[in-house]
Amino acid sequence: MEMPLAALALPALTPDPDLYERITKTIDEPRRVDLETIEWLERCLAEHRRAEDTMGGRPLMPVVRAQFATVADLARGVRGASGDRLVSMVAQYAQFLAWMCQDSGDLAAALVWYDRSHSWAMEAGDAALAATTLNMRAHLAWSIGDPQRCVRLAEASRWHDGRTSLGIQGMAAQMAARGQAQMGQGQQARSLLGQAEELIRKAAEHPEAEPSWMYFYDEDWFLMQRGMAELELGDGHRAVPFLERGLAGLAGSYRRDRAWFGACLAHAHALAGEAEAATETALNVAPDAVAVNAYAVRDLHKVVGLLDRMRAPGARALQEALPQAS
């Protein structure tokens, strides 16, 4: 059976004949949208998020853009609770597109999609998604070396406290911490990380209270982000155990993220003067980094520089495993 709209050929997304017919009619007549159709569209988004964890965003971008257009058309034709739910879904698609644009290096497009996502989230009255979008914009600011904006955006996310989950609040606290770390403010960063750890620990006790897009964000994930903050502070010795423990709990399906955090671990080993461990870790993650994570490749080039300064024999092997830096 063909899919009723653009989607990856994933078994979990194949509708039964009755649902297929209803989805097809809904696309032609948006006012006919029903709960099962909305739930199927939400499942499409969830499955594509997980596919992106493995394959990266580039192969998914055309499919997700087409789905976004379909859901946006449906949202214009539906009122009431179903309409609010569809507008929230439009905001989620916009956030996902923003993330994929950022991951592919198109930062201007990422900013546009994040702004759209935040606007639609506010229109739908979805405080959790509005706060998450601000957290993701904070992450973008951090990634381009703008720590002050990172902190301000993370603090803006906390304005929604009381209407968001503990996990989202913990994400905001750790983003503010990473901004402080990027500015070299170790005391402030570690204080915020302590707050984030407590929030995320409490969130883990009630995972059902978290929105669907927070599926990845758990205590192991936080450990790796804590390691990233220590890396920003230049403390490789403190970063290594956080990254190692987090990676030990990260499923193999998170191929893109294992490449990134593996590159961070190699960087931490190199900062700590552990040339052999840095080389082994970097060479292990290099193939996946080259395949699905350009940011990890960029960090591995930094590892090459550190190894070279230590005159470590692994520097040349790692350099040869990576594409030439642009």
210-228 residue pLDDT tens: 999 999 999 999 999 999 9
Q: Is 76 a domain residue?
A: yes
In a domain, 173, yes or no: no
Q: What is the mean pLDDT of residues 182-190?
A: 97
Q: What is the pTM of this model?
A: 0.89
Contact assessment for residue 51 and residue 67, using Cβ atoms and an 8 Å cutoff? no
In this structure, is residue 160 part of a structural domain?
A: no
Judge whether 63 lies within some domain: yes
Q: Is 115 part of a structural domain of the chain?
A: no
1 has a pLDDT exceeding 50: no
The residue among 103, 138, 160 that closes a domain is: 103
For residue 142, tell me if it sits in a domain.
no
Give the residue from 74, 103, 132 where a domain finishes: 103
Whether residue 172 lies inside any domain: the answer is no
DSSP 213: G
Q: Is the pLDDT of residue 318 over 50?
A: yes
| Owning domain of residue 314 | 232-319
SS3 call for 104: coil
- The most confident of 42-46, 67-71, 279-283, by mean pLDDT: 279-283
pLDDT at position 22 is 59
Average pLDDT estimate for 96-115: 94
Rounded to 5 degrees, φ, ψ at 102 are -60, -45
In a domain, residue 8? The reply is: yes
The angle at the Cα of 201, spanning 55 to 45, to the nearest 5 degrees, equals 30
- The domain boundary, picked from 88, 103, 118, lies at 103
Q: In total, how many domains does the chain have?
A: 2
> In the chain, where does DSSP find H-type helix?
17-28, 35-55, 61-76, 80-103, 107-123, 127-143, 147-157, 166-182, 186-204, 219-232, 236-248, 255-271, 275-292, 294-309, 314-321
